[in-house]
A and B are shown apart, each in its own frame.
Chain A
């Protein structure tokens, strides 16, 4: 389950520094994400979790430090290229609000495929399959405002995974849900990721959600406290 350190990581960050105005959100964070690994990033509010995700996903540029994806530097890529990378190689799930309110669930999921230039019929067909997989096929003609929180998040997962991305970035994907709905969404994400070998960078402050990951990185005040040591002696 744990990352094999002998092979190069899929996504790696070294010494990331990022400031929002005068507050430093990240102060030299280094993390690695192996292919097929689910990595949880936890820590208290304001510890820089979201900023780390934004940097790794190429949504914002770090002030200093390097990010490599598949062995290539991506932190200096032009915005158009980054946007393409996010569209084709990455998927994102936020706490809420990533679905377009005017589009039906089905069209929301089909959107990334349409952006990739696929035909409408084909795109809707694959979107339907993903909705089926996450158990929200019956809601495909509803719009986000008409879905429950859990359903909306499963639609968002389908949208993030529909293009077959290498990495899914999930920022508190269950943050707005009750614990049962949250567990269902997380189970769906973990299953889908393991089946397709997709890596997941999961931001959460909930240990029960972090337990779905293979590994945990804890942030505090913009720096990693500890990689949750995997090999600890437990006296039984």
Chain B
């Protein structure tokens, strides 16, 4: 074990800049995950009424608190998506390095341990930072955390690195199997597969159970807790949209590749046809956020109308609007994380192919064509999927409006339709952030052999 540690340390110390990017970004992801999970745990550990005196008393009562807890847990979804993208940075390089270790005589178990130690330490760094700051914040603002809270904090702080180790072992099962790794490029056969579906169903189930248990404490926040069930439903919409991305990516790829006369479209379309699930993996979180955000935009409009129409509220108006605003912030954070993941993914795809891209440029393919191809790779499969996710979210929003309609006073929340458009534009912008990288990575130096 000591030797494994030493090897892992040596390998990391000798890594190139890209490896450090991966480590830094992974640590940031682990930090976010720990932060959200800690907040959820600490709030969840509270029992009964606690006048915390923040956010207009939104966190004071169990009902609303549980809503917040679930929102925080849902925020973990985009964080996981982001971590998935980070893991892909330098994946080819890392796979080759580990395969090299196998060639040099390391057993599969050793390679697995080395990779696990590496991932675990990275996640531990992120989780440690998050834990230290969270505990400081907690102790300064809240004098006596309960024993439950302490236990929860410990579990999360250690659980995140352990989860990171497990995931890295799982992800490396193919590399570890063969000392030659993937020497020759074969057609990728990777699909999200049943594993992903199971994970999604599980997650939805958890959300549903959480909702049911929360229903026992139904209090003033009933109006707010309604949307949480909707979020669970949205997860299913997201799953459907995910499958749709894969299918449409393949279809658009095939249709366009057969017909287009434009080089940029041809390159993008063939890349889609070659590996449609790569797009699906990248865009899963985007679709979820789109669906959730669109639905929320609709629900928010309805809620505000309800608030405006009711004369006698159970609490101050600010209590409700703060809840709505907090949800909006949560969705905004999710969107930012997702977009970061997308940007990281695009940059990674570029970095992996930089040698081939340099050869294209050497052959006189203008950089503009390559840049357009890069953007189209994001834009093409995302368009139908975002549209569908938007429509799904819109349906939920409109349905909610119809449900709460008590006399024709509700209007259809059309403004929510702007959300998928905005998300789509933001995605293109996120993908475009890697265009400067295209210029930098396409250097003639990449053309040199060994």
Interface, chain A (partner B; CB < 8 A): 20, 50, 54, 57, 59-60, 80, 83-88, 90-92, 94-95, 97-98, 100-104, 107, 111-112, 114-115, 118-120, 123, 143, 145-146, 159-160, 171-172, 175
Contacts and interface: CB of A to CB of B under 8 A. Distances in A.
Interface in B340-369: 355-356, 359-367, 369
Interface residues of B, number: 33
B267 A86 contact: no
B364 A90 contact: yes
A111 B363 CA distance: 11
Interface in B407-450: 444-445, 447-449
A98 B359 contact: yes
A175 B259 CA distance: 36
**Most chain B beta-carbon neighbours within 10 Å: one of A95, A111, A112, A160:** A111
6 contacts: A59-B361, A85-B364, A86-B363, A98-B359, A102-B271, A107-B257
Contacts of A84: 364
B274 interface: yes
B184 interface: yes
Contacts of B259: 120
B270 A107 contact: yes
B184 A145 contact: yes
Contacts of A119: 261
Nearest to A115: B263
Contacts of B447: 50, 54, 59, 94, 171
Contacts of B448: 50
A64 to B, nearest CB: 17
Given A103-B266, A123-B261, A86 B362 contact: yes
B186 interface: yes
B250 to A, nearest CB: 13
A189 to B, nearest CB: 16
Contact of A115 (B184, B260, B364): B364
Contacts of A101: 185, 274, 356
A115 B267 contact: no
A141 B360 CA distance: 20
B231 to A, nearest CB: 37
Contacts of A90: 364
Nearest to A95: B449
Nearest to B186: A145
B266 A98 contact: no
A94 B186 contact: no
B17 interface: no
Interface string B262-301: 1100110011011000000000000000000000000000
B311 interface: no
B187 interface: yes
Contacts, number: 98
Contacts of B363: 86-87, 91-92, 98, 112, 159-160
A143 B364 CA distance: 21
A114 B364 contact: no
A203 to B, nearest CB: 11
A101 to B, nearest CB: 6
A112 B364 contact: yes
Contacts of B444: 54, 59-60
B365 A115 contact: yes
Contacts of B186: 145
| The 3 residue pairs across chains A and B that have the minimum distance between CB atoms | A87-B364, A86-B364, A120-B261
B129 to A, nearest CB: 37
Contacts of B359: 92, 94, 97-98
A204 to B, nearest CB: 13
B440 to A, nearest CB: 14
B386 to A, nearest CB: 23
A100 B267 CA distance: 8
Nearest to B357: A100
B267 A103 contact: yes
B295 to A, nearest CB: 36
A37 to B, nearest CB: 22
Contacts of A104: 270
Given A101-B185, A107-B270, A111-B266, A172 B364 contact: no
A111 B263 contact: yes
A114 B362 contact: no
A102 to B, nearest CB: 4
**Most chain B beta-carbon neighbours within 10 Å: one of A95, A115, A118:** A115
Nearest to B365: A115
Given A50-B448, A103-B267, A120 B260 contact: yes
Contact of B365 (A102, A111, A123): A111
B110 to A, nearest CB: 30
B283 to A, nearest CB: 18
B261 A145 contact: no
B363 to A, nearest CB: 5
A95 B445 CA distance: 14
Given A60-B444, A100-B356, A103-B270, A83 B366 contact: yes
Given A90-B364, A101-B185, A114 B355 contact: no
Contacts of A146: 187
A43 to B, nearest CB: 14
A83 B364 contact: yes
Nearest to B253: A102
Contacts of A172: 449
Contacts of A95: 449
**Most chain B beta-carbon neighbours within 10 Å: one of A100, A104, A115:** A100
A112 B447 CA distance: 19
A44 to B, nearest CB: 14
A20 B445 contact: yes
A176 to B, nearest CB: 9
